[in-house]
Amino acid sequence: MRCSIKILNANGVVENTIFGETGETLYKAIVRAGISIPAPCGGNGKCGKCRVKASGSISVDSDGTCLCCKTILEGNCSIQIANQSAQIQLSGFQSQFETDHEEGLGVAVDIGTTTIAAYLCDLTSGSVISADSMLNPQKVHGADVISRIMFATEDTANAAILAEELHDALKELSERMLQTAGKQKNSIKQLSIVGNTTIMHLTGSYSTLGISKAPYLPEYTSLHIRDYYGTKAIFGGCISGFVGADTVSAMLASGFHETNKTTMLIDIGTNGEIALKKGDDYFACSCAAGPAFEGAHIACGIGGVSGAIDHVRVENGEISFSTIGGTKPCGICGSGIVDAVACLLTIGEIDYKGRMKQQFNICESVYIAPEDIREIQLAKAAIASGIEILARQAGINVSEIETVFIAGGFGTYIKIDSACKIGLIPDELSDRITPVGNAAGDGAKMLLFSKKYRLIAETVRKNTVYVDLSSQEEFEDIYAEKLLFD
């Protein structure tokens, strides 16, 4: 039987009404309606992030809340979903681009596992007219690409759902940017799209079967141009099943093809990618960092939304913090988690093995749990191991790396000293680091503007050797070492 679900805002005012079927989970009804709700585990009852306030014909806990993924609809009800408007990194570090002087408008898109950044561009001048962003609507199917692949391969209809979700998101972003810029609807001539390999396959409706199991072979790797819902689209090339077009795009924007310096690019996200250039040799790897740095699997973890604790510091022996937007704290995001762990190490609440006796309260509603430290250890060890092994592949010591670019929103907002304190980044590189913002977005613009850039990107992609960390003999020993807090 059909039942109504009223969606309330923070003030208890009805903003929307959706419908579900009695007997199905509240989570399923919410997802089907296209509403974004935190669910890093994909609705499997493991993360506890889909808890909402609820009332009506629905079972709730003593505090008036319930887990959407475990709650069965019994009749009409009302729920409150927290605002998930995120702080998404749009700016890069490039401002001028060569163009082929084509006429019209284009859209460059960087599709991340968690967020989407889009840029409305003038193809003639190479200027960005408008920019916009949103959370990736696919996150309701899980916080990481493995969850998305599993969902896509369960049923061909699921793969179509994922593709349609991204198309609808790109359409919405394009229309919003056109409206902001005062441009006519449907005036976009071409698109350029970059993202990790899984996202690229899901966007273009390519089969994910090959990247779902060893040896993880993508259906496509080369940059190509194709029709995408009636619009010419440039799909960026991928290096491997785990290093995608976003990494190639960031390498392009970072000038890997131009520099003579030994240069490393680190993009710390749900899927951590690292690239290294030494002379004419290029190397890249993917680090299974997981979504801990984006707030998932952390007791009070949350994305970069308003009210998230973004920085923590020790002042006169006391912990203080700031939040995004300066509002009441509602959780802690990645940059805040890194700061918090660094602070707890400083004041002796965590030992070098990561042992923590009890939870530490940052404020009344947000705390760091002992289990959180283990999640951070696993994530930071993955990135640190990738840095070490890539350097070894290039035949150098980490200390010989001359320039380090940190890409992405997380890299923009973290404090470098905190990252070094917890061992996420080697301390000897601390004075060589340059945040480059959304370098993948800059690269996407370059692919949009010029054939020359596309050729360079393809050359970089073809010349890059993918290093499978798990197949390296020394990986387990290095990883175990990097788990420690030195």
Identity at 77, one-letter amino acid code = C
Mean pLDDT value across residues 64-91: 78
The pLDDT tens digits of the residues spanning 200-227 come to: 999 999 999 999 999 999 999 999 999 9
Among 5-9, 164-168, 373-377, 383-387, the minimum mean pLDDT is found in 5-9
Mean pLDDT value across residues 288-296: 78
Q: For 41-181, where are the alpha helices, taking DSSP H only?
A: 145-154, 156-181
- Asked whether residue 484 carries a pLDDT value surpassing 60, the answer given is yes
- Asked whether residue 82 carries a pLDDT value surpassing 80, the answer given is no
Domains of the chain: 2-80 (3.10.20.30), 105-256+440-449 (3.30.420.480)
- Asked whether residue 396 carries a pLDDT value surpassing 70, the answer given is yes
> How many angstroms separate the CA atoms of 106 and 232, rounded?
10
Cis check for the bond before 426: say yes or no (omega within 30 of 0): no
Mean pLDDT value across residues 39-63: 80
Mean pLDDT value across residues 335-351: 95
pLDDT for residue 142: 78
User: Which helix (DSSP H) or strand (DSSP E) does residue 8 occupy?
Assistant: strand 2-8
Going by pLDDT thresholds of 50, 70 and 90, the confidence category of residue 263 is: very high
Q: Is 226 exposed, middle or buried (0-12, 13-18, 19+ CB in 10 A)?
A: exposed
Name the range with the highest mean pLDDT among 4-18, 133-147, 197-211, 312-326. Answer: 197-211
Going by pLDDT thresholds of 50, 70 and 90, the confidence category of residue 292 is: confident
- Asked whether residue 96 carries a pLDDT value surpassing 90, the answer given is no
* Higher per-residue confidence, 80 vs 196: 196
Going by pLDDT thresholds of 50, 70 and 90, the confidence category of residue 91 is: low
In angstroms, the Cα distances linking 464 to 245, 347, 469 are 12, 43, 15
